[in-house]
Amino acid sequence: MESLECLEETYYTYNIRFGNNSFKYFLYNNELNDCTRLLNELTDIESFVIIADKNVADICGQSLVEQISKEYKCDLILFECTEKNKSLDGLQQLIEKVLLLKATRRTCIIGLGGGICGNISGMVASLLFRGLKFVHIPTTLMAILDSVLSLKQAINSKLGKNLIGTFYTPDMVITSTQFLSTLPNKEVISGLCEVIKNSLTILPETITRLLDMLNSECIYSWQDYRYFIDMSIQAKEQVMKNDPFEINEGLILEYGHTIGHAIELADARGISHGEAVGLGMLCAARISHTLGYLSEQEVYLHKELLEKAGAPTIIPAHIDSDTIMSIMKFDNKRGYISNMPDTVQLLLLGSIGKPLKNQNGALITLVPEEIVIQEIKKMYR
């Protein structure tokens, strides 16, 4: 975190820097009632197109359009933000809609919604006219403290999650903890699973405080949310300051995601991204213990934190384990190291706060497939 300041007790400003890429992150503790003042910091803009999650548009989409329209041309596009629609077809539809609104090189794209909306809006911005200015307005805890704190913009292939994408730096992030007051508990828990991941992998000194704060009823104050956000920004900047593309030290941010993404895509009933990642982390911890690294106590710590947050620690019985293994073969981290037959590439911890490195210093471990299958199956009970 380069700097943090409170302006007129209205919002906090973070100056985010990942390598040579930087942007401002504005965090309100009340309604976004002066967004245009912040957007005026952007240069060479004549119009805005807001791509909004349909579920969010009714709450704040139209009021945001009204604010911006006082000074700029501003249009609103509604998008059904599901993993199925986060696809090439969905991307093309959005691009065509933006073009029909007579977008130019001086149009700024705003993504208003959760992680899916932010990802596909970022793809639209990065591709149109070879790059338009882009602003995130995240409205879920997952997006606020995780997905917008990255340069990665991506959509899904039919074979796997986030396989099609690019790196594109937003021009700013604007959000408010007021959005969190309308979230169902499941969405809050989803975001907290990423907070737990940051604690276990990067900031182990925060674990004791997290254990005191987390509660399955999801009763959190503005100060609690502020702590979760501060902590996540600190963790992200710590590992991405010299690794903006998350291929070296920053790769640890994908802890739990290989198995987690597979669980998420295998579940037609809709387990949340964070819940799936939580299960992926717990399974990764069990695998590390089986390989002789993490202790039983460290595995239990994973489980304890997840349970305190109200997250599941057992894979739902309706999710087929063979489907999980099949999807994992198309994980988007394939290729960081050469693969070997009958192995799975995983990010593991050698101990809490210390990623396991292979002999070449990379954060990828080749794990025998039989061990992965064994530990996944144990996660059903």
Give CA–CA dist 176/179, Å, rounded.
6
The secondary structure of residue 362, as a DSSP letter, is -
Which two structure tokens, joined as six digits, stand for 47?
Answer: 């119009």
Residue 167 Cα distances to 119, 211, 216, 234, angstroms: 11, 34, 35, 21
Give CA–CA dist 139/126, Å, rounded.
21
Determine phi and psi for 275, rounding to 5 degrees: -60, -40
Helix (H/G/I), strand (E/B), else coil: 8: coil
Task: Report the DSSP beta bridge partners of residue 79.
Answer: 53
Comparing C-alpha atoms, which of 240, 239, 275, 272 is closest to residue 256?
A: 275
Give CA–CA dist 50/64, Å, rounded.
9
Known catalytic membership, residue 254: yes
- Other beta carbons within 10 Å of 226: 15
Which two structure tokens, joined as six digits, stand for 225?
Answer: 């949310």
- Other beta carbons within 10 Å of 312: 18
The secondary structure of residue 181, as a DSSP letter, is G
Determine phi and psi for 358, rounding to 5 degrees: -85, -175
Comparing C-alpha atoms, which of 274, 151, 152 is closest to residue 218?
A: 274
CA 16 to centroid of chain Cα atoms? 16
Active-site residue (options: 194, 254, 264, 375): 254
Q: Compute the CA torsion angle 349, 352, 355, 357 (nearest 10 deg).
A: -70
Q: Is the separation of the CB atoms in 213 and 206 below 8 Å? A: no
Which two structure tokens, joined as six digits, stand for 357?
Answer: 């490195």
- Other beta carbons within 10 Å of 253: 24
**For residue 298, with 0-12 CB atoms within 10 Å meaning exposed, 13-18 middle and 19 or more buried, which class applies?**
middle
Active-site residue (options: 24, 73, 97, 152): 152
Provide the annotated active-site residues.
Answer: 152, 254
